[in-house]
Structure 1
Amino acid sequence: MKERLKELRKSLGLSQEAFGKRLGVTKASISRLENGANSFTEQMIKSICREFNVNYIWFVEGQGSAEIESDIDYTSRIDQIMAGENEFAKATFKIFARFEDEDWKALQRLIRKYLEIEKETPSF
């Protein structure tokens, strides 16, 4: 984990002091974690993952991607679609924006039903 901590900190362009400040710890604490002098507590691991939007499994085990998709990623993509030329995609988002809770529940039921039927139907 110490290597991933250092990799994360450097990828964010943060000094040990700035990184630690966001977590409420000192520069020395971050230094000791990075050089292996101190062990990571579960609380520290969770704080790092939460504060820097890091995948817990990646941080602890080194598996998968470091980043967690965030709502910001989706918002950015929606903005791109709405500014683009795909009129069908824009119209779809405009329609969905008018949905109420019951509409979303009905759509969910419809999609689940479709998937159930699809499983039962032989391929074309």
Structure 2
Amino acid sequence: MKERLKEIRKINPDGKTQETFANYLGISKENIASYESGRRNPSDSFIKLVCEKCNVNEDWLRTGNGEMFMPETKDEQISKMLADVMKSEDGNFKKKLISALAQLDKDGWDKLEDFVDMISKKK
């Protein structure tokens, strides 16, 4: 597990060093060092903390089996996409589209739904 903890720390943008990773998790650097060196076994609460904060698959962390990260939910994918779009320049089509959608009232959403239904039936 110690090597997997190092791997998580090194790829986590909030934890390149043991100190920054410890700060990110809200624990001491000494704890991180002792887990990574194998001097101490991580507690269940520490493992759960890492999994929650870093979106890590607990089975992978404990055993090395499975994927490192938990799959993103559809809501998480949408949130990331929206965050990326909103960082783009004002003239960007995706940003203009999202901004226009944000201004729709109920009637506008109903019309948009009708339009989407109409074009999806043409396929």
| Fold match by TM threshold 0.5 | yes
Aligned-residue RMSD, C-alpha: 2.7
Q: TM-score, normalised by structure 1?
A: 0.58
Amino acid at match of 1:18: T
Matched, 1:53 2:55: yes
Q: Which has the larger displacement, 61-70 or 30-39? A: 61-70
- Return the alpha-carbon distance in structure 2 between the equivalents of residues 76 and 35 of structure 1: 35
Which position in structure 1 is the counterpart of 2:33? 31
- Return the alpha-carbon distance in structure 2 between the equivalents of residues 50 and 59 of structure 1: 12
- How many pairs does the alignment contain? 87
Which position in structure 1 is the counterpart of 2:9? 9
Q: Displacement of 1:66 after TM fit?
A: 0.9
Structure 1 unaligned segments of length 5 or more: list them: 84-93, 96-124
Structure 2 unaligned segments of length 5 or more: list them: 86-92, 95-111, 114-123
Q: Displacement of 1:74 after TM fit?
A: 4.0
Q: Displacement of 1:72 after TM fit?
A: 2.6
- Return the alpha-carbon distance in structure 1 between the equivalents of residues 45 and 58 of structure 2: 12
Which position in structure 2 is the counterpart of 1:44? 46
The 3 A distance-change label for structure 1 pair 16 and 74 is: same
- Return the alpha-carbon distance in structure 2 between the equivalents of residues 58 and 73 of structure 1: 22
Identity of aligned residues (%): 36
Superposed counterparts of 1:1-124, under 5 Å: 1-13=1-13, 14-68=16-70, 69-70=72-73, 71-76=75-80, 83=94, 95=113
- Return the alpha-carbon distance in structure 2 between the equivalents of residues 55 and 73 of structure 1: 17
Once the two structures are superposed, residues 66-116 of structure 1 have per-residue CA deviations (whole angstroms, 9 ceiling, x without a partner) of 111243324446888x94xxxxxxxxxx64xxxxxxxxxxxxxxxxxxxxx
Amino acid at match of 1:59: L
